[in-house]
Amino acid sequence: MAKEYLYHYTSIETLLLILKNKTLAFNSLQNVDDLEEQDSKDVKQIGKICYVSCWIEDSRESIPLWSMYTPNMQGVRIRLKKFPFEKYKFKKDEYHFTTDVETYIDYAKLYTEGKTTIVGNQPQLVKVEYTDDEDLIYPNVRSVIEKIEELGNGLKNTRLLTHYSFEKLGKYKRKEWDFQKEYRYIINIFLWSMQELENCKNDKDQLKLIERLDDEKIKAPYDLFFLKLREDALVDLEIMLGPKVTEAQKEIVQLVVDKYCPNANIVTSKLKIK
């Protein structure tokens, strides 16, 4: 039976921002701890378009995760139900949707910011696979496909088009990382705005946008990308205090919870670590 909750190890400062802003941050693969994730086999720095929020399904405490992701084990572990994000509804033809849609992406905000384009069925939640397969750790994302156009009178025109697939980004890590037992929410955030895509008149215009993926000098659209949390997602929020949290830090967490999320349940780590 699938588990209902996921767990995230973080600092007390980040907890404050999550509860105050009611958002979760997604970070580019350029900025995660495994440096191999920023490159594919054929496109350097392609990880900059893949944003992740990293969790674990195991309810048992992880000493390595306390050590790696909370300062001196003086942080917290939060528990939230899967897909705790706010949903948005858009009508057919809004932002070029071909049907009415319900999505976790606020396209009205995205359009106003004018920085990027995101496919509507994101984020995906994936279980990271740990492997020794170099073709998965460094996948090919670029390929060339044939496009055949019927010209009439039995004539055809064949063109070669560059195609990109990001299906394998962020989903595979070396077996040395398998202690993390990681789950990830993944959002692919492209290097062109919705307005730029609207203004494309033909395949050549689109290709100019897509070629940005190969330009290592172009920076990721956001330092961090945020998704809004639903109000009811925080109703049964659990906050576990790290093994080395001080009395003062406990008071800080309690003050933060009292102000921003009074329904949250604060529990203490069972670990006793010197």
Whether 146 shows a pLDDT value over 80: the answer reads no
Residue-wise pLDDT for 123-139, tens only, equals 999 999 999 999 999 99
Q: What percent of the chain has pLDDT over 70?
A: 99
pLDDT reported for residue 2: 62
Residue-wise pLDDT for 168-213, tens only, equals 999 999 999 999 999 999 999 999 999 999 999 887 888 899 999 9
Q: Please enumerate in sequence order all residues whose Cβ is within 8 A of that of 93, keeping only pairs 6 or more positions apart, or say none.
A: none
Alpha carbon separation from 58 to 64, 65, 177, 266 (Å, rounded): 13, 12, 15, 18
Residue-wise pLDDT for 51-81, tens only, equals 999 999 999 999 999 999 999 999 999 999 9
Q: What is the mean pLDDT of the chain?
A: 93
Q: What percent of the chain has pLDDT over 90?
A: 82
pLDDT average, residue stretch 79-98: 93
Amino acid making up residue 17: L
Q: Which residues of 22-45 are buried (b: 16+ CB within 10 A; e: fewer)?
A: bbbbbbbbbbbeeeebbbbeebeb
Amino acid making up residue 201: K
Residue-wise pLDDT for 100-120, tens only, equals 999 999 999 999 999 999 987
